[in-house]
């Protein structure tokens, strides 16, 4: 009588599948966050030897190696990023306006490819290399001794022409337009500056008084290929953590709730034990930028520039208004001065404020969103913010020093081997094999006589 065997063969595969070990969703790593490349250790002012666990400044960028950059020069004017699946224009042309950079993508043809596009800000920032040195304030003219924030082994790069502009005027347009405005209502598009290592919002339309208007021009590096890189897929784990299934990073759902200097921020993340995990760290600059939501801003959505699955502590800004904090990265923003390690990278999830003298030379300063929520700048790692009453740099960038923390860790990656079986799964597998063997033997042996 074969009925039990037929039933077993029909049911057991289902039991086997049901017996696969229950696991939380695995990260797919569709969105590869390429490492910053930073291997130098710093304290609050200069390079140091590598701190060990428990020492001050442990847990900074150079302690954790992510996915290293991997490029291929295709020999035809293009460079392939072997991590992200993106192909890049190797040599940028002349600077152009934002409108021209958008229009130019449709007719751009290189290496027999015609599907080029202007990169999103996350795609463009994937090329950022934090082995660079910020030359802001440098008065020399020989730029060959400087190190930009992009790998010049593969990508052609040039600084601004010091005869007509600053050497740091090496901005690149992205396709990501700010959902609000900067300065005094200027339409704004984000760009990456590979000379000084920052993301800022730049005016994408003519600015200035009637008859004296000017239009900003920037470099363009078109891209083609993988359109999923830079797209998040957040899941609330229900335990105070959020996993980005696309990037393979697990995040602290809440933030630190208070501002910390850089050394304190490193110690906070290293000492965190949320959801039973003890391997939290302060994210590097590119990890932190990966969770920005450029469709949101305090002005347009009444929120920080991050998915609402995260909670964000509101702050009172320097003008007394309600805003959202900037967050420390573990990356140092190296510069050319004697205090090369003084500045740490942070990312603006609220407005990116600055004190602008309005009108120029008036002695009157106005607090404005000068770079846009989603910008990346740098702060002194320690000190007293009151020492910078009108900020820093040409846009009077607000100096806070005590920024917030959102820690990160690596989420479990999807196994490439056969998934583990639970105990019931192993039982089902054994029964399936046993029944299959009985079936084969039964067909080969003599029939059982009827009684």
User: pLDDT per residue over 358-401, tens digit each?
Assistant: 888 899 999 999 999 999 999 999 999 999 999 999 999 999 99
State how far the alpha carbon of 101 is from the alpha carbons of 60, 79, 88, 389, 435, in Å.
37, 20, 15, 38, 67
**How far is Cα 180 from Cα 159, in angstroms, rounded to an integer?**
29
pLDDT of residue 27: 62
Average pLDDT for 61-71: 97
Residue written as tokens 């730029």?
A: 143
Q: Whole-angstrom Cα distance, residue 322 to residue 98? A: 32
Mean pLDDT value across residues 338-356 = 97
Residue 217 CA to chain centroid, in angstroms?
A: 25
Angle subtended at Cα 96 by Cα 333 and Cα 398, rounded to the nearest 5 degrees: 35
Whole-number pLDDT of residue 11: 42
For 184-211, write each residue's pLDDT tens digit: 999 999 999 999 999 999 999 999 888 8
- pLDDT (average), residues 216-237: 97
Distance CA 175, CA 247 (A): 21
- Residue 93 is predicted with a pLDDT of 87
Give the single-character DSSP code of 392.
B
DSSP 337: S
DSSP states of 130-185 = TT--B-TT---S-GGG---SS-TTTS------TTTS-TT--EEEEEEEEEEEETTT
E strands within 57-100?
A: 71-73, 78-81, 86-89
DSSP-based three-state secondary structure for 379: strand
Average pLDDT of the segment spanning 324-351? 97
pTM assigned to the model: 0.86
Owner of token pair 């196994």: 415
The percent of residues above 70 in pLDDT, for the chain, comes to 85
CA distance 188 to 370: 10
Q: What local confidence, expressed as pLDDT, does residue 74 receive?
A: 98
> CA-to-CA distance for 76 and 110, rounded, in angstroms?
8
pLDDT for the residue 426:
47
What is the distance of C-alpha 355 from the center of its chain? 27
* Residue 382, token pair as written in the block: 């320690």
> How far apart are the C-alpha atoms of 396 and 393, rounded to whole Å?
5
The predicted pLDDT at position 10 comes to 44
CA 263 to chain centre: 21
Q: Other CB atoms closer than 10 Å to residue 416's CB: what's the count?
A: 5
């Amino acid at each position: 009588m074969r009925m039990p065997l037929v039933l077993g063969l029909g049911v057991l595969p289902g039991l086997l599948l049901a017996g696969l070990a229950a696991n939380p969703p695995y990260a797919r790593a569709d969105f590869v966050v390429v490492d910053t490349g930073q291997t130098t250790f710093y304290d609050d002012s200069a390079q140091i030897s590598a701190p060990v666990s428990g020492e001050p400044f442990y847990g900074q960028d150079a302690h954790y190696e992510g996915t290293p950059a991997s490029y291929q020069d295709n020999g035809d004017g293009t460079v392939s990023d072997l991590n992200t699946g993106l192909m890049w224009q190797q040599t940028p042309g002349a600077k152009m306006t934002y409108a021209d950079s958008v229009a130019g993508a449709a007719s751009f043809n290189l290496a027999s490819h015609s599907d080029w596009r202007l990169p999103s800000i996350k795609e463009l920032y994937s090329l950022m290399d934090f082995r660079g040195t910020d030359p802001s304030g440098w008065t020399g003219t020989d730029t060959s001794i400087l190190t930009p924030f992009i790998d010049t082994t593969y990508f052609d790069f040039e600084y601004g022409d010091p005869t007509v502009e600053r050497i740091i005027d090496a901005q690149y347009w992205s396709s990501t337009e700010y959902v609000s405005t900067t300065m005094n209502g200027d339409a704004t598009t984000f760009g990456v500056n590979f000379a000084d290592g920052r993301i800022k919002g730049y005016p994408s339309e003519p600015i200035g008084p009637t008859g004296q208007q000017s239009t900003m021009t920037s470099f363009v590096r078109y891209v083609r290929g993988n359109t999923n890189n830079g797209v998040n897929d957040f899941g609330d784990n229900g335990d105070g953590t959020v996993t980005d299934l696309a990037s393979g990073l697990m995040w602290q759902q809440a933030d630190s709730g208070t501002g910390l200097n850089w050394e304190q921020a490193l110690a906070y993340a290293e000492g965190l034990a949320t959801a039973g995990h003890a391997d939290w760290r302060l994210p590097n600059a590119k990890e932190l930028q990966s969770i920005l939501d450029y469709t949101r801003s305090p002005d347009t959505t009444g929120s920080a520039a991050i998915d609402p699955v995260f909670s964000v502590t509101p702050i009172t800004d320097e003008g007394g208004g309600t805003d959202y904090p900037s967050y420390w990265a573990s990356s140092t923003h190296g510069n050319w001065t004697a205090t090369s390690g003084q500045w740490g990278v942070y990312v603006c999830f609220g407005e990116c404020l600055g004190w602008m003298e309005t009108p120029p030379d008036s002695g009157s300063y106005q607090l404005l969103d000068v770079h846009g929520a989603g910008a990346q700048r740098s702060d002194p790692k320690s000190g007293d913010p009151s020492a910078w009453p009108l900020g820093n740099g040409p846009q009077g960038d607000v100096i806070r020093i005590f920024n917030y923390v959102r820690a990160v860790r690596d989420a479990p990656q999807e196994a490439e081997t056969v998934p583990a079986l639970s105990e019931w799964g192993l039982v089902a597998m054994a029964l399936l094999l046993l029944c299959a063997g009985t079936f084969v033997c039964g067909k080969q042996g003599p029939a059982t006589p009827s009684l």
